[in-house]
Amino acid sequence: MAESIRSLPARRSALKAGLAAGLTGLLMPAINACTPEARPGNVTVAGGEAGGFYLEFSTLLADALQRHGVADHAAALTTGGSLDNLDYLLTGKATFAVALADAAAQQAAAKSPSNIAALGKVYENYVHCVVRRDSGIRDFDGLVGRTVAVGEPGSGTSLTTPRLIEAAGLSATLGGNGKTITVMNLGLNAGLAALQSGSVDALFWSGGVPTAAIAAANREAGLAFLDLSSLLPAMRKRYGAFYDRVLIPEGSYEGIPAVWTVGVANLLLCRSDLDETIVKRTVELLVGYAQELIPKSSLGVQFLSPETLINTAELPLHPAAAEAYRALHG
């Protein structure tokens, strides 16, 4: 069983490479047929923090949009994460945004009618609960009375982490049942620095596997992850079917064994009124040029998989995106 778990990333990568390669030849003419009159002058992709997959993926996407003629110019934006990205999208500061499905659904529910649509599920985000290996913390209850970094305001992590704490029957405020956790709004890089210095005892981060900044900190300080999968039933009951049981495979981070955790779909989003031609050509790019959009550090686990692109949780696909997928897959 252990051997089969370790082989999953390679098998999934090979499968996805084959499917994407099979479609690439069909899609090249459609994308290359773009005319200057049919494409936008400038496109922006709201990303995330340095050292995380959001910004890395958004940069690769922006480069591909420009390289393949979908836009004359395209650039990725450094942001705080999902909630910031949704704000950028809704206020017209970004053409596309990457965001966690739970954050996107919360934002969409606040709008009546919603003007957010999905182009696809681009990868699975893995919630990392990171502690120092020498901390003595072995499970979630070990965080009681401790100080943890829960993501900076504007990040999807800052939405998901309080839900995890509540699902565990704990509190992030003083009083209540006495099972309290002190929280600090620190993002990935500031949180890792605080973890290494000892000013926080744990860091929550929702990102791809492996996240480069966490991998680097692990090599320097020696880290460990807490298993969060036992919280999944309560998470799904309270907040909906946005959360999955996913495995951070052995070998993802040097010296850290495989660990089960909570996964959240990461979506590529746009406004509902975005031009249909741009939407279709971007979907063709996601499918036909998937290998150009996978960060080099990624193991390829659940990343831009043709069979899961349309699984956008409760957020609807943009009509032009749905049409593009029907044309590609029949």
Same domain, 139 and 234: yes
Cα distance between residue 284 and residue 292, in whole Å: 13
* Distance between start and end Cα atoms, the chain: 36
Of 213, 237, 264, at which residue does a domain stop? Answer: 264
Same domain, 279 and 224: no
Cα distance between residue 160 and residue 103, in whole Å: 8
Q: What is the pLDDT of residue 200?
A: 96
Within 10 angstroms of residue 245's Cβ, the number of other Cβ atoms is 14
Same domain, 140 and 259: yes
CA neighbor of 289 nearest in space, from 61, 53, 33 = 61
Q: What is the pLDDT of residue 301?
A: 56
Dihedral of the CA atoms 317, 321, 327, 328 (nearest 10)?
-90
**Cβ atoms of 32 and 63 closer than 8 Å:** no
* Residue 240 placed within a domain: yes
Type and span of the H or E element at 90: helix 82-90
Cα distance between residue 26 and residue 43, in whole Å: 25
Cα distance between residue 21 and residue 37, in whole Å: 29
Of 236, 264, 292, at which residue does a domain stop? Answer: 264
Same domain, 159 and 64: no
Tokens 């955790």 -> residue? 261
Domain that holds residue 57: 17-123+266-329
Q: 224 Cβ partners below 8 Å, 6+ apart?
A: 130, 131, 132, 133, 135, 137, 256
Question: How far are the Cα atoms of 5, 21, 24, 39, 245 from residue 289, in angstroms, in the given order?
Answer: 27, 8, 6, 18, 28
CATH number at residue 258: 3.40.190.10
* Residue 320 placed within a domain: yes
Tokens 């699902």 -> residue? 167
Q: What is the pLDDT of residue 110?
A: 85
Question: How far are the Cα atoms of 31, 151, 166, 170 from residue 178, in angstroms, in the given order?
Answer: 59, 23, 13, 8
Q: What is the DSSP letter of 1?
A: -
Same domain, 168 and 115: no
CA neighbor of 190 nearest in space, from 178, 199, 181, 182 = 199
- The pLDDT tens digits along the chain (330 residues) read 333 333 333 333 433 344 344 444 444 444 544 444 467 789 999 999 988 889 999 999 999 999 999 999 999 999 999 999 999 999 999 999 999 999 999 988 887 677 999 999 998 899 999 999 999 999 999 999 999 999 999 999 999 999 999 999 998 853 345 679 999 999 999 999 999 999 999 999 998 899 989 999 999 999 999 999 999 999 999 999 999 999 999 999 999 999 999 999 999 999 999 999 999 999 999 999 998 998 877 765 556 777 789 999 889 999 999 999 999 876
Same domain, 115 and 216: no
Q: Using only C-alpha atoms, what is the Rg of the chain?
A: 20
Q: In the predicted model, what is the mean pLDDT of the chain?
A: 86
Q: What is the pLDDT of residue 302?
A: 58
With vertex at residue 230, the alpha carbon angle to CA 225 and CA 231, rounded to the nearest 5 degrees, is: 95
* Residue 10 placed within a domain: no
Of 218, 246, 264, at which residue does a domain stop? Answer: 264
Amino acid found at 186: L
Q: What is the pLDDT of residue 282?
A: 97
Q: What is the pLDDT of residue 81?
A: 94
* Residue 3 placed within a domain: no
* Residue 151 placed within a domain: yes
Q: What is the pLDDT of residue 328?
A: 86
Query: CA neighbours within 13 Å on the CB side: how many for 52?
Result: 33
Within 10 angstroms of residue 219's Cβ, the number of other Cβ atoms is 12
Cα distance between residue 178 and residue 4, in whole Å: 42
* Residue 2 placed within a domain: no
Span 284-316, pLDDT tens digits: 999 999 989 988 777 655 567 777 899 998 899
Burial class from Cβ neighbours inside 10 Å (0-12, 13-18, 19+) for residue 33 reads exposed
Please state the pTM of the whole predicted model.
Answer: 0.82
Six token digits for residue 16: 């996805």
